[in-house]
Amino acid sequence: MLTWDFGMSICKLSKPVVKNAESPQVGTSDHRRGYRVIWDSETPGFGLIVTNKGIKSYIVRARIKGKERRHTLGRSAVLGPDVARDLARAWLGKIAEGRDPVEEKRLDAVSGITLRQAMETYCASGRPRESTQELVRARFTSRLVVWLDLPLIRINEDMVERRFLDIGEETPADANITFRYFRVVWNFAKIRTEDSTGKAMLPDCPTRRLTKGKLWKPDIRRKRAVLPHQLPAFIQAVDALPDEKARLFFKFILHTGCRASEAAGLLRKDIDHRAGAVHFIGTKSRSNPEFSFPASRQLLEVIRQAEEVGIGDYLFGDLAGNERDNPFAHEVTLLSKAYGKFGPHDLRRTYISMGNLASVPEIALKKLVNHSQKANVTAGYDAADLAMLKPHAQRISDLIESHLHSADVISIKRAG
């Protein structure tokens, strides 16, 4: 048996050699790295790896464009040395033709990745929040359902453009959102499937057609809110709802400016009556996912009534006391029919508008509604913050209350 200068053995790999091949001796460099290699004298690049645990596998290696490539052919318990040698020669033959079998294998794997698999991999990566995962799945399974089981590489720019325009005819904003999520999922898959040199195995996302063609729909930020003079009609519509907890839910948002999901996820234990505060935990704000809101006199009354209604740990829980997935969706529809087009987020914009009318300083108003800030001005909520913010919260609630009694309600239905 010959020995190369770097300490690896070389001989003709036969059944007896493979059978009698021993694990690395303790104390040797091979043992420290976990395996030894016996190279075949007949086929350069073909060898047998024996690990410290005695596991034996056939391998083949070669240099492609100056970089070493190694491929495991299989375990010795499954393959005989002659069969393994033939496989190694076939692999080396591809290299002689100028091909890269390692990259071809990766490309084959990448070419089979479907949109559904890419979506699930992205959602399982831990990067998007649970709420974002739900939105991605909802968009893909409703708007892109015919593509879900297509390999990514079969989805081209023409397909993207046609589908985008089709969705855009119904709902322009939905087209934008759907294909922004599509782009995120695609680019995530593209990064995850790069080769060892960082070269992308997937092409650029086909949404580039939308960018090059300037096809993205203009983003029109919703400005719908309940205006001061509309508050009496709105509250009349709310008070007409048959579900008492729903009535209190919308009044709670009106006096806090919180998001509907934050109100729906509020636990009874998160109400601090002694401090006169509501503790929001797990909000959508990345800069401040937990914050405390100073309760006004009007808000405390809403909370008191809500605590007397229903069961369970959640202040606005369902009939079983659990958190609502889509809080009071039916009641939102009833309000839209009785009052006019409406969504719970309108009340957040209403609160901000009333804060501006009440001359609440911008930094205080942003803290009250827990707006995410590039500069971390919302960080560090403590007792001093609550004391500073409480007069502002009370002023906003007082202004809301004053408008509720400022005019007679002639028609419950608003224009538009």
Residue reference for tokens 């919703």: 222
- Alpha-carbon span 351 to 393, nearest angstrom: 10
Bridge partners, 10 (sequence order): 2, 39
Encode pLDDT of 177-194 as tens digits. 999 999 999 999 999 888
pLDDT at residue 66 tops 90: no
225 burial (CB, 10 Å; 0-12 / 13-18 / 19+) is: middle
Position of tokens 């993205």? 216
- 103-143: pLDDT as tens digits: 777 777 778 899 999 999 999 998 888 878 989 999 999 99
Closest CA to 258 of 195, 326, 352, 135: 352
Q: Residues for the chain: how many in total?
A: 416
- SS3 call for 56: strand
Least confident of 12-21, 32-41, 195-204, 393-402: 195-204
pLDDT (0 to 100) of residue 166: 95
Q: What is the mean pLDDT of the chain?
A: 88
pLDDT band at 326 (very low <50, low <70, confident <90, very high): confident
Which amino acid, residue 58? Y
Task: Tell me the pTM.
Answer: 0.56
Both tokens of 10, joined, read: 């070389």
As beta bridge partners, residue 151 has: 114
Judging by DSSP bridges, how do beta strands 2-3 and 9-11 pair with one another?
antiparallel
The domains found in the chain, sorted by start residue, are 2-99 (3.30.160.390), 115-212 (1.10.150), 228-404 (1.10.443.10)
Q: To the nearest whole percent, how much of the chain has pLDDT over 90?
A: 68
Q: Give 240's Cβ-side CA count (13 Å radius).
A: 16
Name the residue with higher pLDDT: 122 or 7.
122
- Average pLDDT rounded to a whole number, residues 198-211: 90
* Tokens linked to 283: 């909000």
What pLDDT is attached to residue 8?
Answer: 56
Give yes or no for a contact between 338 and 237, defined as CB atoms under 8 angstroms apart.
Answer: yes
Rounded Cα distance between 35 and 52, Å, is: 6
Residue 406: band (very low, low, confident or very high) from pLDDT cuts 50, 70, 90 = low
pLDDT above 50 for 405 = yes
pLDDT confidence of residue 230: 94
Which strand (E) or helix (H) includes residue 71? strand 67-75
**What is the average per-residue pLDDT within 141-170?**
95
Inter-residue contact 181 to 150 (CB < 8 Å): no
Burial (0-12, 13-18, 19+ Cβ within 10 Å), 103: middle
Q: What's the whole-number mean pLDDT along residues 154-164? A: 96
The torsion region of residue 237 among left (phi > 0), alpha (psi -120 to 50) and beta comes to alpha
Alpha-carbon distance values, 218 to 46, 162, 182, 330 (Å):
60, 18, 18, 30
Three-point CA angle 294, 299, 305, nearest 5° = 135
Handedness of CA 356, 362, 368, 374 (dihedral sign): positive
pLDDT at 272 over 70: yes
Q: Is the CB of residue 321 less than 8 Å from the CB of residue 258? A: no
Is residue 247 predicted with pLDDT exceeding 50? yes
CB 174 within 8 A of CB 180: no
d(CA 87, CA 175): 50
Could you count the other beta carbons within 10 Å of the beta carbon of residue 110? 21
Q: What is the rounded average pLDDT of the residues 291-299?
A: 95
* Residues in CB range of 138: below 8 A, 6 or more apart: none
- Do the beta carbons of residue 114 and residue 152 sit within 8 Å? yes
Q: How confident is the model at residue 342 (pLDDT cuts 50, 70, 90)?
A: very high
Return the residue matching tokens 């290299």: 95
pLDDT confidence tier of residue 40, bands split at 50, 70 and 90 = very high
CA nearest 238: which of 334, 169, 166? 334
Residue 104, judged by CB atoms within 10 A of its CB (0-12, 13-18, 19+), counts as exposed
Lowest average pLDDT, out of 13-17, 89-93, 360-364, 385-389, goes to 385-389
Residue keyed to tokens 């009785």: 338
Q: Are 333 and 343 in contact (CB under 8 A)?
A: no
pLDDT at 283: 64
Residue 377 has pLDDT above 60, yes or no: no
